[in-house]
Amino acid sequence: MNTQQLALVFPGQGSQKVGMLAELGAAFPSIKATFAEASAALGYDMWDLVQNGEQAQLNLTETTQPVLLTASVAVWRLWCEQGGLQPSLMSGHSLGEFSALVCAGSIDFADAVRLVRARGQFMQTAVPVGEGAMAAVLGLDDAQIIDICQQASAAGVVEAVNFNSPGQVVIAGKVAGVEKAIELLKAAGAKRALSLPVSAPFHTSLMRPAGEKLAEALAAMSLQSPIIPVVHNVHGKTENDPSAIKALLVEQIYSAVKWVSCVEAMAAAGITTTIEAGPGKVLSGLNKRIEKSLSCLNIESPETLAAALEAVAQ
């Protein structure tokens, strides 16, 4: 296999779990070393939290974001250390886009860890707890869902925010708007429309105040052009200019995650294999549904690492 056929993808919120990467951490010192770097940046023992903490603590968005970023960077460094094939593209789902930019050499790791913790705080404070909601919708096409959200928005802001795979879209907004949308979506024939256990309406226009704060934080940071191109959630394209990348990261916080567009763009560029670097295999499942021809691997244990190394060496 050649470099042109491989992309690495990085998971977003929802993939975190207590005990994640435990086996990799036991087998490879570089995993814990990466967590130690992140711990030094944030001032608490992140590996201990991930292995021995409470799931509720891990699920707080200001904790989730640096934890997942660190896990993904640790897996990427291990991949490089083991002589894994260098990908020709990278992408990440929401928070995962920051992981991709770190691994592509665009954002310094310690800076990124601090930045995504702040991003989590900004997102949580943009809408008070209890006022926002998100729901997953299965079995309707995108246009129907967008139309129904517009109808339901008379009850409160509600928007389609994650285009995850054909027939799987996440909506978010004010509680009353989301509840009204769920009612209308079920009436329209949705197979499922169920509330998600999240603490804020991510990727909606309600996140604009968080975007303004993130813009201020990014203005003080130095970004580089990525060594490996990163496909961005906002428009499904790559970007080389650091100031444009900053603008996309700000826009992403209050715009829909167009994951289907990201995966289609990678496939159109000749990608035949994606490797999900980090806990879980959420993106591997989505990628396969979006582009059935893709080979979708993930790395979260010594076994999955060995399988991925072998698959791309052929």
Sign of the CA dihedral running 23, 24, 27, 32: negative
Contacts of 26 (CB under 8 A, 6+ apart): none
Same domain, 147 and 278: no
pTM confidence score: 0.96
Say which residues have a Cβ less than 8 Å from residue 310's Cβ, sequence separation at least 6: none
pLDDT value at 194 more than 80: yes
171 and 306 housed in the same domain: no
Give the CATH number for residue 167.
Answer: 3.30.70.250
Burial of 44: CB neighbours in 10 Å, binned 0-12, 13-18, 19+: exposed
How would residue 69 be classed by pLDDT, with cut points 50, 70 and 90? very high
Average pLDDT over residues 201-215: 96
Are 108 and 73 contained in the same domain? Answer: yes
Binned at pLDDT 50, 70 and 90, residue 114 comes out as very high
Q: Among the options 94, 165, 199, 255, which is catalytic?
A: 94
pLDDT attached to residue 14: 86
Same domain, 68 and 177: no
CATH code where residue 223 lies: 3.40.366.10
pLDDT band at 284, cuts 50/70/90?
very high
Q: What is the mean pLDDT of the chain?
A: 96
Judge if 230 and 274 occupy the same domain: yes
Domain identity same for 301 and 235: yes
Cβ neighbour number for residue 219 with a 10 Å cutoff? 10
Mark whether 24 and 120 lie in a shared domain.
Answer: yes
The mean pLDDT of 251-275, rounded to a whole number, is: 97
| pLDDT score of 153 more than 80 | yes
Into how many domains does the chain fold? 2
172 and 223 in a single domain? The answer is no
Pair 134, 198: CB distance under 8 Å: yes
Closest CA to 52 of 19, 4, 88: 19
Given 170, 198, 226, the domain boundary residue is 198
User: Residue 248's pLDDT band (boundaries 50, 70, 90)?
Assistant: very high
In this prediction, residues 71-83 reach a mean pLDDT of 98
Task: Give catalytic status of residue 94 as yes or no.
Answer: yes
Q: Is pLDDT larger for residue 146 or for residue 14?
A: 146
Amino acid 60: pLDDT: 86
> What are residue 163's DSSP bridge partners?
169
Cα of first residue to Cα of last residue in the chain, in angstroms, is 6
Give 31's pLDDT tier (boundaries 50, 70, 90).
very high
User: pLDDT value at position 243?
Assistant: 97
Strands 273-277 and 295-299: parallel
15, 39, 106, 203: the catalytic one is 203
Burial class from Cβ neighbours inside 10 Å (0-12, 13-18, 19+) for residue 50 reads buried
Same domain? For 297 and 218 the reply is yes
pLDDT at 99 over 80: yes
Domain holding 307, by residue range, is: 3-126+206-313
- The rounded distance, in Å, linking the Cα atoms of 99 and 70 is 8
Of the residues 164, 181, 198, the one at which a domain ends: 198
For residue 2, is pLDDT > 90? Answer: no
pLDDT-derived band at 89, boundaries 50, 70, 90: very high
Question: Quick one: 193 and 235 in the same domain?
Answer: no
Give the closest residue to 109 by CA, choosing from 79, 77, 85.
77
Last residue of a domain, one of 181, 198, 215: 198
Interval 234-262 mean pLDDT: 98
Of the two residues 198 and 38, the one the predictor is more confident about is 38
